[in-house]
Chains A and B, each alone.
Chain A
Amino acid sequence: MRDNGKGGALTEVTFFVLLALHEPRHGYAVMRFIEEKTGGRLLLGAGTLYGAITALEEKGWIARRGESEDRKKQFVITAAGREIAQRELSRLRELTNTAEAIIGGEKP
């Protein structure tokens, strides 16, 4: 997974993991969150999700946060992760504004 943290442009998986972890969640809950929010379009394999989570943990964008009631390891976004997610949101807004101005009036 390659993310360009400085200039924005996160991968879709990274951005969704960061969004999911705005509240503490364990791995399965993250999978369900992404599946639900994309209407089943993005189904993440557990191996892929684990790779994404460990990469984000190494970058300091997310952190472990104890265990849930059913003793599953939980993760949560950090201040650095929130800043990255906010920056990505701004980048996407700018992109959609540009696209809207150019092709927004066109009928598909």
Chain B
Amino acid sequence: MNITRRRYFGGAMKSQEKFLNRMAAEGHRLVKTGKLTYEFAPCTPGQYEYRVEYIGHLSRENAEDYVSFLRDCGYQVFYKNINVDWNVGKVEYRPWAQKGGRLAANETTLHRELLIVEKEKDGKPFELHTDPADRVQYRKALLRPWLYALACALALSALFAVRFRSVPWAVAAVLALLGLLWILWRIGKET
């Protein structure tokens, strides 16, 4: 009998991956994902393993092409959301995304920012990114949204700190600046 688990991991991909692999180790294979739910069917314990990948920076065409490529490689693939807002017709601007993916809508990768990739265990390591240069590209794609989010946080908190002569907003601006510098350092280190 299928079971459903309610969980919300947001952008914590490693935690989501651990949860799915723990379920698989206990004999539950993922069959369906909802915004806050995961539906599992019984399977042999340890038969499957999972990886979670961020694709929010891809255009719709590239995301679909990648999913089709993964399915051709024999993997089962599920889309998963990062945010949990329910809406229709929303458009989100993602300046960090590649051309064609900067305006994310319900029809593209909005609420489908993650992929859950399932592989039947065959004794070989299961990693989606194995080449060092490719890993660097992927890590940069993960860092870029933080770069823009922190830049916006810095601009807003600095504006409020000056406008209202507020110490808490000034502290927030300093924290955003430190975060921004840390992300820039990480991106620079990857280059």
Contacts and interface: CB of A to CB of B under 8 A. Distances in A.
Given A43-B124, A47-B129, A73-B68, A1 B134 contact: yes
A31 B70 CA distance: 12
Interface string B134-145: 100110000000
Interface in B62-103: 62, 65-66, 68-70, 72-75
Contacts of A50: 66, 69-70
Contacts of A54: 62, 65
A51 B125 CA distance: 19
A52 B135 CA distance: 12
Contacts of B75: 46
Interface residues of B, number: 23
The secondary-structure label for the interface of chain A is helix
A24 interface: no
B49 to A, nearest CB: 13
Of the candidates A26, A47, A73, the one having the most CB atoms from chain B within 10 angstroms of its own CB is A47
A107 interface: no
Interface size class of A (residues with CB under 8 A): 20 to 34
A6 interface: no
A11 B137 CA distance: 16
Contacts of B130: 43-45, 48
Of the candidates B66, B125, B131, B137, the one having the most CB atoms from chain A within 10 angstroms of its own CB is B131
Interface of A: 1-2, 11, 13, 26-28, 31, 43-54, 72-73
22 contacts: A1-B131, A2-B133, A26-B72, A27-B69, A27-B72, A28-B72, A28-B73, A44-B131, A45-B128, A45-B129, A45-B130, A46-B69, A46-B73, A46-B75, A46-B117, A47-B66, A47-B129, A47-B134, A48-B130, A50-B69, A51-B137, A54-B65
| Chain A to chain B: the 6 pairs with minimum beta-carbon distance, closest first | A47-B128, A45-B130, A72-B72, A48-B134, A48-B131, A28-B73
